Chains A and B, each alone.
Chain A
């Protein structure tokens, strides 16, 4: 079968004779020996188990790929241990040298194993079944029956060894066997079926290689981009408009299909009936309009679990939150800043953090660190918290700083962090003059201490009933835009893996022989035997069924 030599179906190795020196191998000999070892079943097995073990640490330590914040946190809580772990690439397990080494070796072993088997199998497919063994009664699933002299078949002709074997061929062919007849002193039919088992096994292993390549190459040509859109905002599929953009190694800007997308509305639904899940989100819906290159608009909906397909991209709805709109005026009432600012949710009731930076227009740069509570409630000690994710009692609390924002020097700074070194706290818990943080409801304005101007928490639905603030603060949706040109290939190979597995595990591969022996006194002895290749619990039953069908074909019946 050209399987690895330590496959249990392969012939047992010759016992080593003590005392006889092995001939020295030479370079080619060593290479061949090494290759044999690498492509043996035992190596494949050990590498598989090593791969399983090597995957474990990735679930024990935070990984940069899936949880970068966790890694940062780990470094700050374990400052001595973390760098050591990092040396061993324990925060990048799945791209680490040692993990890669194991799976690359495994796949080299796999290729080295599959190629000889595939060539051998192609030959086997083209060659007829093997010669009938001399003694069938040594095989598993043996049975024999005798035909009494003078029996005739269904059409009235006498049964001979030749006619019996012809009938056997018909039965076996019908059962999906490939049949070859042998003449000589004893007539026999040799049959084999279930080549699909080996085919399935090869498809399975080759498709695994396919997945590895498709994943490896797909990562190189694809890209992912993130974009936070406040309701009403739009973005174009151009590299610069993304908040963050991660291109693969082989990515070029040509891969960006031009289109535009505008977020028309974002609605949420929270559980209100069930008190065990009060406030739990049950639906997020983003309604968008997209414009292709010709400017034709299309309306679509994006939901969690239901991405939008456009221009070779999938657009996923991965997060959402509030974007309080903030307006800053100078002492004369001139607007120097007016924007909706996406605030990052911190808990299930959407207590959210946001940063406002006002670099120009006031006599000093101003920074604000805000906490937004969609439904604010005060605890006993006076601190605020949010108790429901919808806008029932929206309150914005702002800590104000003046001084140098540190953004003039041209270094890019995250819009979600504020470095307050060298800034003066104007209002907040540690403000020198005791001014408390500002607390604003939608529509309210407060003076910025120090006569710098004023800040307004805009109400986006000023005309509605003042007791109903449900529309007062706009929402944002955070969209992930992906392109993975080989995703379809991965799926294709995965399906091949599954189908290959099913055929290889459940299609029995067997050889069956039927022999007709003329006993001289006119009796004919019919012998049946089978041989399983691989696991085959149904062999006995299959051989019995063939004997049954054969007797039926001959117009006889079996008696025991």
Chain B
């Protein structure tokens, strides 16, 4: 039973990867098409001066408030196809991940292979649902490409058959701590993506990169910076919680809440970098590109923690199942 289900799970994951590949291609084509488009005409928004009345007939307009220049752009066909493919891939991806959990009779995040399934599923999920709040579809190529890489590494490099949990991992903290950590990782990833676009956009605004016309169809650097900040702040709260939950779990399992184990060290480093990032956003002279670099360095540290530290550094966490 377990074997059959994990077979189905793997099949679903491979299918999701195939769909993501097509989504990635379509997102890239969309970016190419954006280059051909040039800047969209700014839509003039209505005035903010109006009337207050019971009948509402005679409007007296006194002053036209200049609207902030928002770029309105109809999404291209490529983008719509790419996004639909992403949603389809995600459904397969989530299905495969859930099946893995059913096969194992536990949450599907107890070893490297399963982390990569769950973390990338959450990342794509956050990307999909974040669209309800803001149109960030221009990050599609980054997100679909990145989850393709994570899934590739996970399935090719770290696939393991279902095995039971060792006693130290048998705790509800596995469910909470690791889940919130992956959630935080997903938000950090999107934040890093926005910060990267921000850096490129800044150069474009300084009249460099004249060939990258597709950048004109994306928000300006300041807007990107604000978006990145809001996403990263959410991630930071998750990460703070992860750190604390990890300490509580360590106290239960190892008898001390903090012992500078390698994984604890890196969780701390990441937390500190992002605390620095948040400060940078509030420090004169550190907003803009500098804070964007910090966000990217912070995310690089997250990735380093997830890969190199898990694989090559010795520590109590090294039973994470390879």
Q: Chain A residues in contact with chain B, CB under 8 A?
A: 6-10, 12, 41-42, 44-45, 48-49, 51-52, 55-56, 58-59, 62-63, 65-67, 70, 93-94, 137, 142-148, 151, 215, 224, 271, 274, 276-277, 280-284, 303-307, 314, 316, 318, 480, 482, 487, 490-491, 494, 497-498, 501-502, 505, 523, 526, 534-535, 537, 551, 554-560
Contact = CB atoms under 8 A, between A and B. Distances in A.
B170 A304 contact: yes
Contacts of B62: 144
Contact of A59 (B247, B265, B275): B265
Contacts of A58: 260, 265
B254 A52 contact: no
B98 to A, nearest CB: 20
A48 B275 contact: yes
B48 A143 contact: yes
A147 B254 contact: no
A558 B163 contact: no
Contacts of B258: 215
A44 B252 CA distance: 34
B284 A56 contact: no
B244 to A, nearest CB: 5
A316 B260 contact: no
A8 B279 CA distance: 10
B87 to A, nearest CB: 26
Contact of A284 (B46, B167, B272): B167
Nearest to B161: A276
**Leading 6 A-B pairs by shortest Cβ distance:** A277-B163, A316-B255, A304-B167, A559-B56, A560-B50, A52-B272
Interface residues of B, number: 75
Contact of B254 (A12, A316, A534): A316
Nearest to B271: A52
B229 interface: yes
Contacts of B170: 283, 304-305
B283 A282 contact: no
Given A137-B63, A304-B167, A482 B256 contact: yes
A22 B161 CA distance: 72
Contacts of A148: 51, 53, 58
Interface string B125-164: 0000000000000000000000000000000000011111
Interface of B: 2, 46-54, 56, 58-60, 62-63, 65, 160-168, 170-171, 173, 226, 229-230, 233, 236-237, 240-241, 244, 247-249, 251-262, 265-266, 268-269, 272-273, 275-276, 279-287, 294, 309, 313-315
Nearest to B255: A316
A146 B52 contact: yes
B269 A12 contact: no
Given A144-B49, A559-B50, A280 B166 contact: yes
Contacts of B2: 274
Contacts of B272: 48-49, 51-52, 55
B160 A49 contact: no
25 contacts: A12-B284, A45-B286, A48-B276, A49-B276, A49-B294, A52-B269, A58-B260, A65-B259, A66-B259, A93-B260, A137-B65, A145-B50, A280-B166, A282-B167, A283-B167, A305-B167, A307-B252, A318-B255, A501-B237, A534-B282, A556-B54, A558-B52, A559-B50, A559-B52, A560-B50
Contact of A480 (B249, B255, B269): B255
Given A151-B54, A284-B167, A8 B287 contact: yes
A8 B259 contact: no
A41 B282 contact: yes
Contact of B171 (A9, A305, A498, A551): A305
B52 A551 contact: yes
B164 A274 contact: yes
Contacts of A491: 248
A206 to B, nearest CB: 15
A154 to B, nearest CB: 11
